[in-house]
């Protein structure tokens, strides 16, 4: 029997990436779409929100992501400018390709912008990593999540709490599908290829004797505007990290926003080079190696909370809330906020052996993207057969 063909009346799936945290989510989806029978045709659009070699190209290489079919080249700007530019440049792409749907991942500005363009043109929106809520509207990502989910026709979730969040916002449960976590698909796929810590440090120009082989170390990432944009917040955070580094050497993979602010506020002196190794933003395999070998991770990233849970490495999250509660309930994550005493206390507890190792959440099994491919194919095929089906306006 020959393999089934992609229905002639269905256009390709436009898959959108924009910023670093999108790339590890999209890579397994593209693999699963190519492997699906029939293969799901894809047009990969990069908005260009992130563009540096360190924020973009290295991740594309590590994750073996194909070269985007289209790069909108929007670059940096205020949220308004960035969002508006993506919208303006994305619209003609939809006219050219007439896709069956637009698939967006995560919660960055590009996610919202492309969803808004698609929904206005009556093209179905598919959101991967739907329903996560911090219930903190000061986070730009929270606005992006809420609005993208309101526009989405098909919503794929990573944890069961997401479904309840969506239902509370009036989103029909029939549109929601719990598939697991594509970011963990990437992690499991790449874990064996993770770069050794010594190599990562050497590549960053850190002297070989900075960390003796086998010694414990911690990893830091910080980039949330609420943590790094005001000197009154950033200064005590860095001072706390410096104190922690007296007990545990720390490797700080520094986001461009954080680096720029440290320089602008003149806070470089707070980071003792002998105990805190400052690295540029890392590739995917480097970051995986750094986290996998760490005694603990201190972060304000959403993605790292999930990755450390999958690795069983204690994670102290320097935020008051999380949109990923399963990482706290079942995983290795602890919310410690940004009060210095709480951070130091929690760190001491981990160093004393009380760190959480947690367990792997339901369906974080490396197969989430395959479940998305199967469901999306069934959903689009059904819509193609009944063009006026509710929730699908145009295929």
Check residue 19 for interaction with ligand UD1 (CB under 6 A): yes
Q: Report in angstroms the alpha-carbon separations of 309 from 134, 333, 383.
A: 18, 7, 37
Active site residue 189: no
- CA-only gyration radius of the chain, Å: 21
The site that binds ligand UD1 (CB under 6 A) totals a number of residues, namely 19
Q: Which stretch binds ligand UD1 (CB under 6 A): 48-56, 128-136, 307-315, 384-392?
A: 48-56
CB 109, min distance to ligand UD1, A: 4
Which of 25, 46, 50, 356 is in the footprint of ligand UD1 by CB under 6 A? 50
Give me 63's structure tokens: 């994750």
CB 75, min distance to ligand UD1, A: 8
Check residue 245 for interaction with ligand UD1 (CB under 6 A): no
Closest CA to 132 of 321, 366, 373: 321
Q: Which is nearer to ligand UD1, 54 or 342 (CB)?
A: 54
Would you give the end-to-end CA distance of the chain in angstroms? 27
Which of 195, 223, 275, 356 is in the footprint of ligand UD1 by CB under 6 A? 223
* 60: β partners: none
Q: E strand or H helix at 316, and its extent?
A: strand 315-317
For residues 314 and 281, what is the distance between their CA atoms, to the nearest angstrom? 21
133-172: contacts with ligand UD1 (CB under 6 A): 140-141
Q: Which stretch binds ligand UD1 (CB under 6 A): 45-53, 151-159, 242-250, 262-270?
A: 45-53
Check residue 265 for interaction with ligand UD1 (CB under 6 A): no
Which of 24, 70, 102, 108 is in the footprint of ligand UD1 by CB under 6 A? 108
Which of 12, 21, 218, 355 is in the footprint of ligand UD1 by CB under 6 A? 21
Check residue 263 for interaction with ligand UD1 (CB under 6 A): no
Q: What is the DSSP letter of 350?
A: I
Question: For 349-353, which contacts have Cβ atoms below 8 Å and span 24 or more sequence positions?
Answer: 350/295, 350/296, 350/314, 350/316, 351/247, 351/248, 351/295, 351/296
Q: Could you say which of 36, 50, 223, 255 is catalytic?
A: 223
For residues 293 and 338, what is the distance between their CA atoms, to the nearest angstrom? 25
Extended strands (E) in 189-279: 218-221, 250-253, 276-279
Check residue 52 for interaction with ligand UD1 (CB under 6 A): yes
Contact call for residues 320 and 132 (beta carbons, < 8 A): no
Which of 20, 36, 127, 275 is in the footprint of ligand UD1 by CB under 6 A? 20
Active site residues: 223
Interacting residues with ligand UD1 (CB under 6 A): 19-21, 49-52, 55-56, 76, 107-109, 140-141, 223, 255-257
């Amino acid at each position: 029997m020959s393999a089934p063909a992609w229905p002639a009346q269905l256009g390709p799936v436009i898959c959108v990436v924009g910023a670093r945290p999108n790339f590890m989510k999209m890579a397994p989806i593209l693999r699963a779409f190519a492997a699906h029978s029939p293969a799901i045709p894809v047009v990969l659009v990069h908005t260009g929100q992130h563009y540096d070699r360190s924020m973009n190209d290295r991740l594309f290489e590590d994750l073996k992501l194909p070269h985007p079919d289209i790069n909108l080249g929007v670059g940096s700007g205020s949220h308004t400018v960035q969002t508006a530019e993506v919208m303006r440049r994305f619209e003609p792409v939809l006219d050219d390709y007439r896709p069956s749907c637009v698939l967006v991942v995560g919660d960055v500005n590009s996610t919202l912008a492309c969803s808004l363009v698609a929904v206005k043109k009556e093209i179905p929106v598919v959101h991967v990593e739907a329903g996560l809520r911090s219930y903190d509207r000061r986070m730009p990502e929270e606005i992006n999540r809420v609005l993208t989910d309101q526009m989405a026709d098909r919503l794929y979730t990573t944890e069961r709490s997401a479904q309840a969040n969506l239902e509370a916002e009036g989103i029909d449960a029939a549109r929601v599908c719990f598939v697991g976590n594509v970011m963990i698909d990437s992690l499991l796929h790449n874990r064996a290829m993770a770069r050794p810590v010594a190599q990562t440090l050497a590549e960053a120009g850190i002297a070989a004797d900075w960390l003796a082989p086998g010694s414990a170390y911690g990893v830091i990432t910080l980039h949330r505007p609420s943590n790094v944009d005001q000197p009154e917040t950033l200064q005590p955070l860095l001072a706390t990290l410096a104190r922690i580094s007296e007990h545990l050497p720390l490797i700080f993979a520094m986001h461009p926003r954080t680096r720029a602010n440290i320089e602008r506020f003149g806070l470089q002196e707070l980071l003792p080079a002998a105990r805190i190794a400052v690295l540029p933003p890392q590739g995917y395999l480097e970051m995986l190696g750094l986290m996998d070998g760490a005694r603990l991770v201190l972060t304000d990233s959403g993605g790292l909370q999930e990755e450390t849970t999958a690795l069983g490495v204690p994670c102290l999250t320097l935020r008051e809330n999380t949109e990923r509660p399963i990482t706290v309930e079942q995983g290795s994550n602890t919310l410690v906020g940004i009060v210095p005493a709480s951070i130091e206390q929690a760190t001491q507890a981990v160093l004393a052996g009380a760190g959480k190792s947690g367990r792997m959440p339901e369906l974080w099994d490396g197969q989430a993207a395959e479940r998305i491919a199967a469901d999306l194919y069934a959903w689009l095929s059904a819509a193609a057969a009944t063009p006026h089906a509710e929730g699908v306006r145009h295929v």
